[in-house]
């Protein structure tokens, strides 16, 4: 169904029962997922869900406690040149050396990255109208974000990891930043892994979805397939979960009726012909929010990773 | 060059919105056989959407026989006009007008008519799923 590089039978990213423990607490556990080459994947979840832990293991900053990460089929080891070269990283809040000029930053990038494309970097900065001699401290938030993205693109890494790239940007800067990301995705068939709290905006950018909560993968796969496998069902209030044709992900009861986010296949929905029942397609945001609000005790059926015991309270809401 | 737009609040998946716009432009004559559609990259950057969404829309158009890719040149409109023969379209329109008159005589408001059409279409889609 999804359109990805036909030659990309080797996934851009694969994690296999990946876990990381901080003292006695697991930041991430039993994380098994794949992102195909050419995808733009959204990584969503509340604060403390394990997003940064996962990203840091993907980019090779953090050593896994258990399990494996591989990027384009090659195992990532923390702090090795090979791992670092395969992944470009745009960190949250776009940290750059504040007293460096933009040109200095590009020189630094060139010195530190063997595959660096100086021409591409300089042309991008020029096209963006950012003065190369201006110091980073004098750039706007949007310009800093664009310099960070330029550094990541010029590295020529096939997988780009963006950690909350939109958080510090105003709406116009967000759009301009994502415009360049979308163009880069089309142009160079790059694979993107983007963590974000801005769930409502992700639908148009991303074709792959990963939902993390409580250090576990709640949902992962092609966005279209996941949307197609869920329905918003309106049923009379008294209807018990067991009578519903699928797995109840989230349920909101009002006086007379209940709205249920249901994971169900087409066959299950086709046979349901109850009067007073209505099944509607689910939006990207409804799907994500449904999984984030899901009680933590519920079984994670249908996920690639086997369900593991999950300690701790369930996340009540996602921070925006 | 044809320009797409995107309605973020319509609830229609983005790729379907693109497909609908080409179909509609063909019906209205804004797009004609031989016209080149914008490149995937241009649409992705213009609308700030995932390029795979555009690829998917173009595949769907090819599947419907409305457009075709020429290697190294881009995607071109291949259909002459509407994929529905004009006689069929006229017949459908005549029966729709008759139905609309009947609805008006029965006292249905425009809003109710629109809601009824949406509901009927919704149920038909559901049966097909």
Give domain limits for chain B. 14-77, 86-128
CA A300 to chain centroid? 19
Q: Is B49 close to A207, i.e. CB distance below 8 A?
A: no
Q: How confident is the model at residue A236 (pLDDT cuts 50, 70, 90)?
A: confident
Q: Chain B within 8 Å of A190 (Cβ-Cβ)?
A: no
CA distance B59 to B68: 8
**Residues 6 or more apart in contact with residue A219 via CB below 8 angstroms:** A209, A210, A211, A226, A287, A291, A303
Taking only residues 67 to 106 of chain A, the set having a beta carbon closer than 8 angstroms to any beta carbon of chain B reads none
Task: Note whether A224 contacts B: Cβ–Cβ < 8 A.
Answer: yes
Split at pLDDT 50, 70, 90, the class of A278 is confident
ipTM passes above 0.85: no
Give residue A265's pLDDT.
Answer: 77
Identify the sign of the CA torsion A246, A269, A225, A317.
Answer: negative
User: Tokens in use for B26?
Assistant: 């063909």
Q: Which residues of B touch A (CB under 8 A)?
A: 6, 8, 11, 13-14, 40-41, 44-45, 47-56, 59, 126, 129
How far, in Å, CA of A293 to CA of A89, rounded?
30
Task: Please report the pLDDT score of residue B68 as a whole number.
Answer: 92
Q: pLDDT tens for residues B88-110?
A: 878 888 999 999 999 999 999 98
Distance (Å) from the C-alpha of residue A77 to the closest C-alpha of chain B? 30
Rounded percentage of chain A residues whose pLDDT exceeds 70:
85
> pLDDT category, A261, cuts 50, 70, 90?
very high
| Distance of alpha carbon B25 from alpha carbon A13, whole angstroms | 40
Note whether B48 contacts A179, CB cutoff 8 Å.
yes
- Check if A186 contacts B (Cβ < 8 Å): yes
Q: Is A225 on the interface with B (CB under 8 A)?
A: no
- Among A134, A139, A207, A128, residue whose Cα is nearest residue A168: A139
Pick the CATH number of B14-77 from 1.10.10.10, 1.10.357.10, 3.40.640.10, 3.20.20.450: 1.10.10.10
- Choosing among A2, A3, A42, A279, which should be mutated to test the B contact, i.e. which has the most B CBs within 10 A? A3
pLDDT for position A245: 83
Contacts of B129 in chain A (CB under 8 A): 266, 269-270
Long-range Cβ pairs for the range A143-147 (8 Å, 24+): A144/A94, A144/A96, A145/A90, A145/A94, A145/A169, A145/A173, A145/A177, A146/A176, A146/A177, A146/A180, A147/A94, A147/A96, A147/A102, A147/A105
Nearest alpha-carbon partner for A144 in A117, A166, A118, A116: A166
CB contact under 8 A, A205 and B50: yes
B52 with A187: Cβ contact below 8 A: no
Q: Which overall architecture, per CATH, does domain A13-222 show?
A: 3-Layer(aba) Sandwich (3.40)
**Nearest CB to B52; choose among A180, A207, A269:** A207
Nearest CA in chain A to B51: A186
Nearest Cα neighbor of B34 from B60, B63, B73 is B73
Cβ A293 vs Cβ A316: under 8 Å:
yes
pLDDT digits (tens, 9 = 90+) for A177-214: 999 999 999 987 799 999 988 888 888 899 999 999 98
CA B52 to CA A38: how far, in whole Å?
8
């Amino acid at each position: 169904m999804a359109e990805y590089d036909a030659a990309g039978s080797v996934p851009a990213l694969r994690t296999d029962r990946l876990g990381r423990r901080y003292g006695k607490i697991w930041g991430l556990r039993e994380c098994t997922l794949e992102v195909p080459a050419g995808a733009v994947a959204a990584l969503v979840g509340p604060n403390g869900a394990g997003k940064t832990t996962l990203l840091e293991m993907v980019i090779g900053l953090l050593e896994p406690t258990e399990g494996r990460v591989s990027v384009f089929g090659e195992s990532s080891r923390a702090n090795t040149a090979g791992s670092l070269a395969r992944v470009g990283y745009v960190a949250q809040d776009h940290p750059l050396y504040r007293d460096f000029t933009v040109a200095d930053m590009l020189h630094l990038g060139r010195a530190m990255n063997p595959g660096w494309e100086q021409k591409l970097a300089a042309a991008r900065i020029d096209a963006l109208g950012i003065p190369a001699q201006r110091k980073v401290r004098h750039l706007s938030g949007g310009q800093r974000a664009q310099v960070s993205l330029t550094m990541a693109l010029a590295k020529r890494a096939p997988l780009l990891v963006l950690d909350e790239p939109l958080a510090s940007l105003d709406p116009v800067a967000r759009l301009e930043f994502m415009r360049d990301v979308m163009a880069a995705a089309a142009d160079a068939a790059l694979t993107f892994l983007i963590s974000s709290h801005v769930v409502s905006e992700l639908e148009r950018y991303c074709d792959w979805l990963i939902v993390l909560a409580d250090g576990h993968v709640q949902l992962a796969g092609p966005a279209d397939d996941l949307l197609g496998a869920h329905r918003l069902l309106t049923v009379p209030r008294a209807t018990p979960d067991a009578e519903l044709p699928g797995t109840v992900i989230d349920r909101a009861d009002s006086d007379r009726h209940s709205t249920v986010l249901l994971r169900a296949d087409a066959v299950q929905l086709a046979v349901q012909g109850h009067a007073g029942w209505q099944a509607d397609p689910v939006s990207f945001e409804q799907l994500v929010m449904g999984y984030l609000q899901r009680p933590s005790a519920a079984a994670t059926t249908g996920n690639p990773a086997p369900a593991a015991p999950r300690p701790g309270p369930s996340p009540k809401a996602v921070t925006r | 060059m044809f320009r797409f737009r995107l309605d973020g609040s319509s609830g229609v998946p983005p790729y379907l919105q693109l497909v609908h716009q080409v179909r509609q432009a063909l019906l209205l004559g804004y797009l004609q056989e031989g016209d080149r559609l914008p490149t995937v990259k241009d649409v992705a950057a213009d609308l700030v959407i995932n390029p795979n969404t555009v690829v998917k829309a173009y595949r769907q158009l090819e599947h419907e026989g409305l457009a075709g890719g020429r290697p190294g040149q881009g995607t071109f409109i291949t259909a002459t006009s509407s994929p529905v023969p004009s006689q069929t379209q006229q017949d459908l329109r005549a029966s729709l007008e008759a139905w609309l008159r009947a609805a008006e005589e029965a006292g249905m408001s425009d809003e109710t008519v629109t809601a009824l059409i949406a509901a009927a279409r919704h149920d038909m889609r559901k049966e097909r799923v």
